[in-house]
Amino acid sequence: MPANGGPEDEEIGYQSSIRKSGSNKATISSDGTVTVAKNNDESKLLPRIAILIRTWHDFPYNQEHIIYLRSLIAELAIGSGAEFSIHFLIHVKDANAQIWADEEMYQRVLNESLPAEFRGMGTLWSEPQMQLLYPGMPESNFRDLGVYGVYRSPWMPVMYFAHQHPEFDYFWNVEMDMRYTGHWYELLTKIPQWAKEQPRKNLWERNARFYVPSEHGTWDDFSQMVRVQTEHGTAGKSNLWAGLASSPDVPDDIKEEALPKPEVPVWGPLPPLNDPTHDNTSDIYPPHSAPTAKDTWGVGEEADLITFNPLFDPVGTSWILTTDTTSFNITPASQTPRRSAINTFSRLSRRLVAAMFRDSLHGRKTMAAEMWAGSCALHHGLKAVYAPHAVHIDRRWPTDYLAATFNGGRNGAAGGARASVFSDDRQHNFRGSTWYYDAGFAPNLWRRWLGYRADGDGGEAAEVAGEGRMCLRSVLLHPVKSVDLVFAHEGEEEEAAEVPQGSTGARDD
């Protein structure tokens, strides 16, 4: 892509590039080969999907990174026949590099930013460039970080990429420090298929909770429980003041706070209150004013947003980024509705990205990275789905205690109250898991799965003495910062050295 332009002579519009295909049913064999079955339905349509790998211009690629990237390319782009297209979205940290204006500089930095085998797959961006593209954002310097910085506004380059590439209908935001022990094509096709079949009724309420099958039963049982908790409220262990309601020594105002409080389920757009700048021209409204008993609205509708952690309500929690909003009213009387999902691995539709783009460009609006996509979908009535997936924990927790801990917020949800697991003093519960921004078990499990010692466990000696190499089901892992691969060479004795762990953090750059 040129430094100062994009594709030419292409029609810009939602799903403008969906292509006809008579060979769109794929299966994966035991050796990882994707087999595509022919059919005669020439009117069947396939969307084009961009995989945006987030990296930066001086990223220190090692052999394990190369293996990870090759797996994405082989299993998604090559294996699917270009249904998926792999792109590197490269952050140029040098604020003096005017890559948007100098073609020679753009190409030089681009060539230096990727290993040789990935050249031609990258797009550069910088924070000064985003300031030019989205001018006039009120600067709050939240936590001493600027509003155009990658920590607070990593969606800005995604929105611009989508604007420059109308051929793509969906965008996966992928990080360099996540790994998957299964087949990428299976994950990134099966999850959207499941999300597509989710009805809109109580969807935002289901999105707000962790699903623990051993405690919640079937998905239908879980859905029914969510409906009851929402419509009637709860006064169980998850309500911090529930035990005080019957005490004669407790003031009436505290008792009132302890009583169950029903909620109004989200049905259609939930726009910011008292906001004359809200653009509702493309909002999606329900087909009727209230859901019916077995409402099917949304079934068969593609999800505009798919996340891999609950879309929790940050209002009422002590999550540190709750107030990181720009051009939104967050005073108690006019509290802007918000939803957040940690971390930013997710799929966004062109429709959602376009809404975010308009709100940022014309309304000068944005929010914290984990909060912006979910909140924008909420404001405009778009379909957002949290997809439960397997998460391992490094200790044997009683599952009833685990469910109560992770769904410890308002009315059995994960957020909306001070007791939320996403509150800053409770996030430590994720440290022993395989999926969070600073989960400590994720890098250990990945290293042990590769055959190395990690945190005093695993390694070749342990495998020989035990049951051999670890076997894992398909599981997402985050974060895995860096793994130095050790190879055994012929004639040399392999050392069973413990592989040092990389650092962890909320975001790579």
pLDDT tens by residue, 191-249? 999 999 999 999 999 999 999 999 999 999 999 999 999 999 887 544 555 555 566 66
Question: Measured in whole angstroms, how far is the alpha carbon of residue 244 from the centre of its chain?
Answer: 38
Residues 96 and 157 reside in one and the same domain: yes
Under 8 Å between Cβ of 418 and 460: no
> Which residues fall within 8 angstroms of residue 500, CB to CB, at 6 or more apart?
484
Q: Name the token pair of 480.
A: 């895995």
Residues 131 and 78 reside in one and the same domain: yes
Residue 494 confidence (pLDDT) = 44
Under 8 Å between Cβ of 355 and 282: yes
Residue 10: inside a domain: no
- Boundary (domain end) residue, out of 196, 215, 230: 196
Residue 13: inside a domain: no
> Which residues fall within 8 angstroms of residue 281, CB to CB, at 6 or more apart?
none
> Which residues fall within 8 angstroms of residue 236, CB to CB, at 6 or more apart?
242, 412
Q: CA 61 to CA 403: how far, in whole Å?
A: 39
Question: In 243-279, which positions are buried (b, 16+ CB within 10 angstroms) versus exposed (e)?
Answer: eebeeeeeeeeeeebbeeeebebbbbbbbbeebeebb
Q: Give the predicted TM-score (pTM) of the model.
A: 0.86
Query: How many Cβ atoms from other residues are within 10 Å of residue 349's Cβ?
Result: 23
Q: What is the DSSP string of 301-325?
A: PPPSEEESS--B--TTS--TTTT-E
Residues 111 and 181 reside in one and the same domain: yes
Residues 256 and 237 reside in one and the same domain: yes
Under 8 Å between Cβ of 69 and 119: no
Residue 333 confidence (pLDDT) = 78
Question: What's the chain's length in residues?
Answer: 509
Q: What are the residue ranges in the chain where pLDDT is below 70?
A: 1-43, 236-260, 487-509
Residue 216: inside a domain: yes
366-367/325-326 β-pairing: antiparallel
Residue 387 confidence (pLDDT) = 98
Query: Considering just the CA atoms, what is the radius of gyration of the chain in Å?
Result: 24
Q: CA 443 to CA 500: how far, in whole Å?
A: 10
**3-state secondary structure labels for all residues of 204-264:** HHHHCCCCCHHHHCCHHHHHHHHHHHHHHCCCCCCCCCHHHCCCCCCCHHHHHHHCCCCCC
Residues 115 and 81 reside in one and the same domain: yes
Residues 313 and 382 reside in one and the same domain: yes
Residue 246 confidence (pLDDT) = 61
Alpha-carbon dihedral sign for residues 71, 77, 83, 86? positive
Q: Name the token pair of 144.
A: 């001493």
Q: CA 11 to CA 33: how far, in whole Å?
A: 34
Query: How many Cβ atoms from other residues are within 10 Å of residue 18's Cβ?
Result: 13
Q: What is the pLDDT of residues 256-303, one digit of tens each?
A: 555 667 899 999 999 998 899 999 999 999 999 999 999 999 999 999
Q: Could you tell me which residues are beta bridge partners of residue 41? A: none
Q: What is the DSSP string of 81-121?
A: TSSEEEEEEEE---TT--TTT-HHHHHHHHHHHS-GGGTTS
Q: What is the DSSP string of 322-386?
A: TT-EES---SGGGPPP--B-SS--EEEEHHHHHHHHHHHHHH--EE-HHHHHHHHHHHHT--EEE
Q: Which helix (H) or strand (E) segment is 37 a member of?
A: strand 34-37
Residue 405: inside a domain: no
Question: In 46-58, which positions are buried (b, 16+ CB within 10 angstroms) versus exposed (e)?
Answer: bbbbbbbbbbbbe
Q: Name the token pair of 368.
A: 């914290």
Residues 169 and 235 reside in one and the same domain: no
Residue 399: inside a domain: no
Residues 264 and 145 reside in one and the same domain: no
> Which residues fall within 8 angstroms of residue 249, CB to CB, at 6 or more apart?
none
Alpha-carbon dihedral sign for residues 216, 221, 224, 228? negative
Query: How many Cβ atoms from other residues are within 10 Å of residue 118's Cβ?
Result: 18
Under 8 Å between Cβ of 507 and 151: yes
> Which residues fall within 8 angstroms of residue 333, CB to CB, at 6 or more apart?
none
CATH of the domain at 80: 3.90.550
Q: Name the token pair of 348.
A: 């966004």
Residue 68: inside a domain: yes
Residues 148 and 245 reside in one and the same domain: no
84-91/122-125 β-pairing: parallel
Task: State how many domains the chain has.
Answer: 2
Residue 488: inside a domain: no
Residue 504: inside a domain: no
What is the domain extent for residue 128?
Answer: 19-196
Question: Measured in whole angstroms, how far is the alpha carbon of residue 62 from the centre of its chain?
Answer: 25
Residues 170 and 228 reside in one and the same domain: no
Residues 137 and 157 reside in one and the same domain: yes
Residues 178 and 273 reside in one and the same domain: no
- Boundary (domain end) residue, out of 132, 162, 196: 196
